[in-house]
């Protein structure tokens, strides 16, 4: 005996609508994840710049101090410089690439942060 099709039968309609929404749901999740990665990269860059400035203020290597506070995936695209500042200040500039969806994969754009600290190196007097 064969089942008959009734007018207005909507069995399976929810499954079809869900399948149509899956790409939109996945795209939304990927965009939200990318926003999280951008925010986390800004946080890491700010912390690395602070640590680099503190290290440079006492005469240590600022690049090594910035590297010490980064995870491996973010450390690969790190640029840290500590140009001499004015009025006894030390400035640290850190640039980190924002990953595309996965840490360590590509670089969407570069985040640049700056931090400063008062130099604590003792100046030699003649």
Give the model's pLDDT for residue 36. Answer: 92
39, pLDDT greater than 80: yes
Question: Do residues 53 and 20 lie in contact, with contact meaning Cβ atoms separated by under 8 Å?
Answer: no
Domain ranges of the chain: 13-118
Ramachandran bin of 101, using left for φ above 0, alpha for ψ from -120 to 50, beta for the remaining angles:
left
CA distance 56 to 49: 10
3.40.50, 3.30.1300, 1.10.357, 3.40.1000: which CATH number matches 13-118?
Answer: 3.30.1300
5, pLDDT greater than 70: no
User: What is the tens place of the pLDDT at every residue in 40-95?
Assistant: 989 988 999 999 988 888 888 888 888 887 877 777 778 888 877 777 788 888 88
Q: Which of 92, 56, 49 is nearest to 70 (CA)?
A: 49
CA distance 65 to 51: 6
Tokens 């099709």 label which residue?
Answer: 5
Question: Do residues 112 and 95 lie in contact, with contact meaning Cβ atoms separated by under 8 Å?
Answer: yes
């Amino acid at each position: 005996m064969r089942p008959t099709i009734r007018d207005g039968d909507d069995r399976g309609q929810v499954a079809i609508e869900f399948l149509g929404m899956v790409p939109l749901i996945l795209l939304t999740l990927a965009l939200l994840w990318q926003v999280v990665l951008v925010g986390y990269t800004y946080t890491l860059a700010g912390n690395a710049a602070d640590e680099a400035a503190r290290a440079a203020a006492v005469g240590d290597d600022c690049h090594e101090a910035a590297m010490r506070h980064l995870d491996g995936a973010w450390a690969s695209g790190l640029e840290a410089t500590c140009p001499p500042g004015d009025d006894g200040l030390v400035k640290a500039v850190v640039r980190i690439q924002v990953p595309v969806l996965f840490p360590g994969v590509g670089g969407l754009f570069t985040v640049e942060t700056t931090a400063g600290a008062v130099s604590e190196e003792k100046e030699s007097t003649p």
